Amino acid sequence: MSKAVVEHIKADLVARGVDLSGACGAAQITVRVAHTLRDRYGLLLKRAGNRAVFRADGTCVDGDHANPNEPGFATDYLIDRATFFGYDILSDGGGLNGPQWPDDPETTEVARNTANFAEAPNLDGTIDPPGPVDPPVDPPPHQDELAARVTVLEGRFADQLRTNDNLMGTLYGLTRRVTELEHAPPPVIELPALVAKGNTSRVWGHAHTVELDVVKKEQ
């Protein structure tokens, strides 16, 4: 488990006589753990508060002695690059530096962790963990959170289906109406009755002009 990596790296640093006190001491462990497990984990970048600032000349200063906004790392905190959940890997960081690996990661700072994720620098080469190291077994990322997301997506999908069904129903109705109009017989136009006024008993041997008035037929 990943706790074994923390234990191994701390023991190696103790054997080498590295000072593990304070923010920089805790970060000596944490940065090396993050680099060893870099395929999965990174560090939390901080520009204020308790942090360890590793400078280009190889020195490290804590947050109290760093320049304003000078970037450093959280001293005992790793971020899972897949979920952006956080892991506190040292109890009493900078003091006892007790190796640990929480069964339940911190899940409330995903936005912050995403925005401030940092790759771990290689301080002095990756330290190989003792023997095969099993990948950390983490609980599935927040079942409640995933269930809520699935519910939202299902609702949106259902709304889209209903919208599509309504559009298809409207299109089908218009298509039927067009078909009915194409096959309908020509409309019958009823004209009002024409009544000719005058004497029709006379036989005309030449042309006459006849005026016809259109009279609305009484029903």
183, 184, 185, 189 alpha-carbon torsion, rounded to 10°:
-150
Check: CB of residue 4 under 8 Å from CB of residue 133: yes
The CA R_g of the chain, rounded to the nearest whole Å, is: 43
Q: Give the SS3 label for residue 76.
A: strand
Q: What is the pLDDT of residues 57-78, one digit of tens each?
A: 889 999 999 999 999 999 999 9
CA distances, 6 to each of 9, 32, 66 (Å)? 5, 9, 26
* Residue 206 DSSP code: S
CA 187 to chain centre: 59
Q: What is the pLDDT of residues 144-192, one digit of tens each?
A: 666 677 777 777 777 777 777 777 777 777 777 777 777 777 766 665 6
Q: Is the pTM of this model over 0.75?
A: no
CA distances, 26 to each of 7, 95, 191 (Å)? 13, 8, 103
Question: How large is the average pLDDT for residues 38-53?
Answer: 96
| Residue with the two structure tokens 């190291």 | 133
Report which of 84, 115, 88, 83 is spatially closest to residue 100, judged by C-alpha positions: 88
Q: Where are the domains of the chain?
A: 2-118, 142-181
Q: Which helix (H) or strand (E) holds 87?
A: strand 86-88
User: Could you tell me the two tokens for 46?
Assistant: 């901080």
Strand partners for 45: 73
